[in-house]
Amino acid sequence: MTSKISDSLWFNTCQESEDTKPLTENAKADLVIIGGGYTGLSAALEAAQGGASVRVLEAESIGFGGSGRNVGLSNAGLWLPPDEINATIGLAAGERLSRILAQAPDKVFDLIARHEIACEPVRNGTLHCAHAPTGLSDLQNRFRQQTARGAPVQLLSREEAIARTGSDQVHGALFDPRAGTIQPLAYAVGLARAAQTFGAILHSKTPALDVKKAGALWTVQTPRGTVTAKKMIIAMNGYAIPIQGLKTPKVIPVHYFQSATAPLSVEQAAQILPGKEGCWDTAMVMSSWRMDQDGRLIIGGMGQLGHIGQSAHLGWLKRKLTKMYPLLAEVTLQETWFGRIAMTEEYLPKTLLLDNSALINFGYSGRGIGPGTVFGTAMAQALLGGDLSVMPRAPIAQHNIAFAGVRQAYYEAGATLTHLVKDRV
């Protein structure tokens, strides 16, 4: 199985559209952006709204990477709990990052409403579910840390979690009313369309081949043209391609796959996630599930398809679905797709400072929607306003990850072995 974006439910149900063409000229701009996902598109929208001339270069199609293969949970904060963030980057920096990203769903849903993005927005919260009784301690720890910072989260008992999910396979849950679900590819395409209405020019099928700086200007070479700009943003994240003259930041690639049912019957849908929250669990090899607006259940987990572990992953997926929702035992899983997550060692996003005129952002570690939107907006403000202090996390000059490929193999082997044995009767 390949990783074609057209395999996904999101591609087949996207109601948003934009008009992009390959670059075929030598152009000039105030800001050139490499990467057409949440980060690059949020930056383009922010910059264009502020009156800057913007060119976006996307090697494939808008949302082709992680943005178009996402689960679609728009969560507050990061996967890492706030106290662990503080231990990693310091108290002041950690608290600031957590405070800014706690408001990320507000930013996402405000953009959706303001630009009338047709991406199935449902802001009914998310449920972080205990996959076993041992998972409750993790949720209790997160609950203590979040409420200490004023977050309106609620810790649900096993009985309450079962009622909210419709499954007896959960052992409690942390409910976050700030969060919600979206159609992730449609959100990306909607951001692109909104940026275009303010004058940003987007180029699909236009990979950046070479980057050079001469004086105060950056020049990006593509197969059929160039863009010369005063400022530059690199926003390729987990789908970075080699570019001459640019050292691509190392990340640990981790894969995540999903599959969708056909629309469920009214009777079936009434018994599953009646509040339409998005869910994920506390298992080390995580899984997620949610509904879309047409009543499909989308369920997934860590692992790479098109790989030796594919049969293990897909076999587990069907067992997982049947165990969680026995009434769906005979339901066929239709579209199946997977994508790549860019992880850092600390599970925190990073911004590399090439100089005061260029930034590279990466490493959302599975939380691309809110943080990607926030970091993209902030990068445009920082570069065009000449004030790097607006960044949610201070940019750094150097970054490296030792043995990134080995770590990728470790994560995939763990997911494959887990799925070989998990959820068997």
The confidence score (pLDDT) of residue 248 equals 87
- The stretch 82-107 carries a mean pLDDT of 98
Q: Is position 211 within any domain? A: yes
If DSSP states are collapsed to H, E and C, what string results for the chain? CCCCHHHCHHHHHCCCCCCCCCCCCEEEEEEEEECCCHHHHHHHHHHHHCCCCEEEECCCCCCCCHHHHCCCEECCCCCCCHHHHHHHHCHHHHHHHHHHHHCHHHHHHHHHHHCCCCCCCECCCEEEECCCCCHHHHHHHHHHHHHHCCCCCEEECHHHHHHHHCCCCCCCEEEECCCEECCHHHHHHHHHHHHHHCCCEEECCCCCCEEEEECCEEEEEECCEEEEEEEEEECCHHHCCCEECECCCCCEEEEEEEEEECCCCHHHHHCCCCCCCEEEECCCCCEEEEECCCCCEEEEEECCCCCCCHHHHHHHHHHHHHHHCHHHCCCCEEEEEEEEEEECCCCCCEEEEEECCEEEEECCCCCCHHHHHHHHHHHHHHHHHCCHHHCCCCCECCCCCCCHHHHHHHHHHHHHHHHHHCCCC
- Give backbone dihedrals phi and psi of 290, rounded to 5 degrees, phi first: -165, 170
Split into its structural domains, the chain has a count of 1
Using one digit for the tens of pLDDT, what is the confidence trace for 114-167? 999 999 999 999 999 999 999 999 999 999 999 999 999 999 999 999 999 999
* Distance from chain centroid for Cα 97: 17
| Predicted confidence (pLDDT) at residue 106 exceeds the cutoff of 50 | yes
Domain encompassing residue 191: 5-125+178-421
Top pLDDT among 403 and 198 is at: 198
The confidence score (pLDDT) of residue 383 equals 98
Q: Is 417 left (phi over 0), alpha (psi -120 to 50) or beta?
A: alpha
Q: Is position 166 within any domain? A: no
Using one digit for the tens of pLDDT, what is the confidence trace for 298-310? 999 999 998 889 9
Nearest to 132 by CA among 284, 300, 277: 284
Using one digit for the tens of pLDDT, what is the confidence trace for 158-196? 999 999 999 999 999 999 999 999 999 999 999 999 999
The answer to whether 288 and 278 are in contact (CB under 8 A) is yes
Q: Is position 144 within any domain? A: no
| CA–CA distance, 236 with 247 (Å, rounded to integer) | 12
| Predicted confidence (pLDDT) at residue 206 exceeds the cutoff of 80 | yes
CATH of residue 334: 3.50.50.60
Q: Is position 356 within any domain? A: yes
| Predicted confidence (pLDDT) at residue 1 exceeds the cutoff of 50 | no
- The stretch 369-393 carries a mean pLDDT of 98
Q: Is position 348 within any domain? A: yes
Q: How confident is the model at residue 424 (pLDDT cuts 50, 70, 90)?
A: confident
| CA–CA distance, 117 with 108 (Å, rounded to integer) | 10
The confidence score (pLDDT) of residue 305 equals 94
The confidence score (pLDDT) of residue 406 equals 83
Using one digit for the tens of pLDDT, what is the confidence trace for 240-269? 999 999 988 999 999 999 999 999 999 999
| Predicted confidence (pLDDT) at residue 3 exceeds the cutoff of 80 | no
Q: Is position 403 within any domain? A: yes
Top pLDDT among 7 and 71 is at: 71
The confidence score (pLDDT) of residue 425 equals 63
Q: Is position 327 within any domain? A: yes
If you average pLDDT over every residue of the chain, what do you get? Answer: 96
Q: What is the pTM of this model?
A: 0.97
